[in-house]
Amino acid sequence: MSLKEKIQEDLNSALKEKKETEVSALRMLKAAVFNKEKGKRYKLSQEKPEIDIEKLGKESPQAKELEKESALTDEEIMEVISSEIKKRKEAMVLFEQGNRTDLFEKEKKEMEILQKYLPEQLSEEEIKKLAKEAIEKIGAKEIKDMGKVMAELMLKVKGKAEGGLVSKIVKEFLS
């Protein structure tokens, strides 16, 4: 079962069980995934101008192929989820500053719901260990090598760690 199907299944059961917060979070996630797919479809249609859906129709084999190609992979959906979680974290900071504990709690619950769809996050210690390995592998000595280290490291931690935290750790090691 794909991640997209799992999200739809969970949304359906949340609707049946009348879990408002979960329904809200999953609907927003589905909308974000839909928008990302729409953007991908537009980009693909620009690369293949011979596929004119207006002329060929939505039921044409070319249109169906474009639809299939623009469907997000599980990895791309995880990127969307990570982005949505990041938005929740940013909103939580603002709501905390504004003393809006009700909205803070709502964002926190939504974030927890979304985190269920990501692989388990690496601890700071695990990230530090991987960062050391990447630095040694590349032979990085100074901060100007950070890009190379990040490229190497992000391949290993993609979806399992927040980029900002990884960047902070790499900076500490290189300075």
Architecture of the domain spanning 3-115? Orthogonal Bundle (1.10)
- Give tens-digit pLDDT for 138-169: 888 888 888 888 888 888 888 788 888 888 99
Sketch the domain layout of the chain as residue ranges. 3-115, 124-174
At residue 50, the pLDDT reads 67
- Give tens-digit pLDDT for 67-93: 788 888 888 999 899 899 999 999 999
pTM: 0.76
- Give tens-digit pLDDT for 105-119: 999 999 999 999 988
Cα distance between the two ends of the chain: 44
124-174 maps to which CATH number? 1.10.10.410
CB 145 within 8 A of CB 138: yes
pLDDT at 122 over 80: yes
What contacts 82, CB < 8 A, 6 or more positions away?
118, 159, 162
pLDDT band for 53, please (50, 70, 90 cuts): low
pLDDT band for 47, please (50, 70, 90 cuts): confident
